A = this chain, B = another copy of it.
Amino acid sequence: MRITVNRNADTPIYLQIKNQLRDMIFSGVLPVDFLLPPERSLARELGVNRSTVIKAYQELKADGLADSHVGKGTVVLPQTARVPAAADRYINPLPWYQLFTESITASHDTIISDIMARTGRDVISFAGGIPAPGLYPVAVLEEIQAELFRTAGQELFLHSPVEGCYPLRESIVQLLRQRQIAAAAKDIVVLSGSQQGLDFAARIFIRPGDTVIVEEPTFFGAIQIFRSAGARVIGVPIDKDGLRTDVLEALLVRHKPKFIYTLPTFQNPSGISLSLQRRYELLDLAYQHQLPILEDDPYGELYYDTTPVPSLKALDRHGYVIYLSTFSKALFLGLRVGWVTAPPQVLAKFAHLKQMTDLHVNTPAQLLLDAFIRRGHYERHVARLRQEYAGRRNAMLKALDKYKVPGIGWNKPAGGYYIWCRLPDNIVRHKLVANAAKRGVVFLPGEAFYPDGTQGDTHIRLNYTFAEPEQIDNGIKYLLQAVKETTCANYEEECQHALKPLV
């Protein structure tokens, strides 16, 4: 029996025992007719006198909570008198779905989580956006963590400032300097991943009915969160130089969007980067139309051929760019640390939301990352990733070429995580995920990356950072076998059905 006795408390011990038994009776932990332990054995268990337990049981009986019968012991009585009237009535279950807000009720697409759930040990996964676990610098982190326990001690578990630990903000300033972005520690707010930055941007800017412009295709998590805030999400097509600024201009005039969300460098899912010329054009359009730019840069440091052109934030001279980045792609996802740098008025709103929604980012993660950067490990690690990931990208490109089937096409990304792959026209698209999974390969279909889901079914996204290099060749082989199998020839009925006129 789970009863605790506190000898330092003001309440007498017999009353402590009685109160705990009473609570267990009220809450149903001890049901009606439950036989309480004999006084002697409970006394022994609790290390108290038998007379103390006897007194506790007497109190219970006096309250009408229990009764004793010679030869039977002390049993719990029914609590009809104490249980509120409600217990006898029929209680309606709560109509939860009617209580939910519209934005939260709206069905959320489970296709991505369904596919992610298939990522087991026996599966070759090209689906996630996850850095290679085998490359995590675990030994270095172990050493730093042990040292932090010695030097920081209890500070590791104290709360941090809302905006983030100052040393980490200084370290982030150094990272930004390498990206040619001039910022001071005061210009940084540390967030729980750049994902949280997207959520906060939505809360800061979007009123239901507002329009937001995104690239088409773009990161599905951004579409989801902007839409959930009530935004109308409009896509701008991309070509080999990134988002088409000529189309954007027309859309700005027509829709007066609240902001534009862009991943200009090694874009997710296409791997394409916005050219320098287009960057200047985009900034110029933003200045003309007073359009804030939300720049998301998780992949910019992961270049495999030549350094990318500067970020929009680096090129902006008029404070129009809100810049998000993260440690999730260059290090690992598990710490959930990203950051935002933005003009001071906007940054104050990010800090306000951080304070209001979850106070601050996990302290030990901030101290760990700061030490990791300060000692030069970050730069070395990213340099190593560039080599490793370039190799995996090349392996995937080679395999695609080796096993290619008619009608398939793909780009050669200069950095980042993904190859964007066009499917043959004669494929039965909705069967491909299942057919590939049967062969042990998962990937993400393109639909999720389009604000209007119907347009993406011509493409799939292939990640090359997570799978082991020796799996990549096989994975692409099986995938392209699945593509070959999933043609109309093999699904004649479905394809014929698609041709029947609707009359």
Contacts and interface: CB of A to CB of B under 8 A. Distances in A.
Interface of A: 2, 4, 6, 8-11, 15-16, 19-20, 23-24, 26-29, 82-87, 89, 91-97, 99-104, 108, 113, 130, 133-134, 136, 138, 141-142, 145-146, 149, 153-154, 156-160, 162, 178, 180, 192-193, 195-196, 199, 203-207, 221, 224-225, 228, 258-259, 276, 280-281, 283-284, 287-288, 290, 292, 304-307, 309-310, 314-315, 317-320, 331-336, 343, 345-346, 349, 352-353, 355-365, 383, 386-387, 390
Given A26-B315, A364-B335, A154 B133 contact: yes
Contacts of A103: 203
What is the oligomeric copy number? Answer: 2
Given A157-B332, A158-B333, A158-B334, A280 B84 contact: yes
B92 A10 contact: no
Given A145-B149, A352-B104, A287 B178 contact: no
Contacts of A108: 352, 356
Nearest to A112: B355
A212 to B, nearest CB: 12
Contacts of A160: 334
B336 A9 contact: no
B356 A86 contact: no
A224 B352 CA distance: 11
A96 B345 contact: yes
Contacts of A307: 4, 16, 19-20, 23
B27 A180 contact: yes
Nearest to A199: B357
Nearest to A11: B306
B334 A94 contact: no
A52 B83 CA distance: 89
A362 B365 contact: yes
Given A100-B349, A284-B85, A309-B26, A336 B358 contact: yes
A350 to B, nearest CB: 10
Contact of A138 (B157, B314, B315): B157
Given A292-B99, A332-B157, A362 B359 contact: no
